[in-house]
Amino acid sequence: MSVKDAIEWRKTVKIYDDNRAISSKELETIIEAGRMAPSSMGLEVCNIVVIKNKEIKAKFAYDVLNGSNVEKGLKCDTLVCLVGYNATYLVSDEFLRSRLHRNEALDEKKLSETIEKYRQYLENHNNLTSYVDSQVYITTAFMTLQAADLKIGTTIIGGFNAHHSNDLLHELGYIDKNIKHTVLLLALGKYDEKTNGATFARKRISTEEFAKIVK
């Protein structure tokens, strides 16, 4: 599929077919798309927790998802929790060093100076949580389009309780909630395009309303 075809094929899935699984290879490809997403200053502020285990996925669906999303969480093949670094950890020496030490041109002195420069830049940002979260959204978009390319359905899920998600992921040992927080969830799975209500008809504003082309 071309990117254009994947964009056209992708629709938010409302009803998954729980009889059809995603292969490990397909899941790996979708994860890789997320890993390859761009990030501000290359800091890679997004991680994912990929829940395939049925019991944990069901616990997540009942404890964390809201309304009609519960059913999607139960029936999708895989539920991805997209987490971002908390503002306090983002500016820590530990985090900045973990990212910046990859630059081989920096000796220890230059590395320390660069960490300080990055920290100052970040501390001057007026909303570090939104800085992190907006990058998690980009990662989500990359994964969603890669899934479409494989004809795997997706639901970006903003309708969930973030506190419950952080608590559950922390309890299960998948994140340290003092370091990371849940930004979005992404359901992945096959679905039957002919099932009534599996997706909704596309509604979009006109190109004229969406885009002003300045010539």
Ligand X SMILES: Cc1cc2nc3c(=O)[nH]c(=O)nc-3n(C[C@H](O)[C@H](O)[C@H](O)COP(=O)(O)O)c2cc1C
Rounded CA-CA distance 180/85 in Å is: 4
CB of 87 to ligand X, least distance (A): 20
Rounded CA-CA distance 213/62 in Å is: 46
CB of 143 to ligand X, least distance (A): 12
Q: List residues near ligand X by CB under 6 A.
A: 11-12, 69, 155-159, 199-200, 202
CB of 80 to ligand X, least distance (A): 13
CB of 82 to ligand X, least distance (A): 11
Across the beta sheet with 46-51, what order do the strands follow? 46-51, 78-85, 180-189, 153-157
Of 156 and 172, CB closest to ligand X: 156
Of 14 and 119, CB closest to ligand X: 14
- Residue 186 and residue 152 in contact, taking contact as beta carbons nearer than 8 Å: no
Of 48 and 91, CB closest to ligand X: 48
Sign for the CA dihedral angle at 39, 40, 44, 46 comes to: negative
C-alpha distances in Å from residue 215, one per residue of 17, 46, 153: 47, 37, 38
Of 22 and 184, CB closest to ligand X: 184
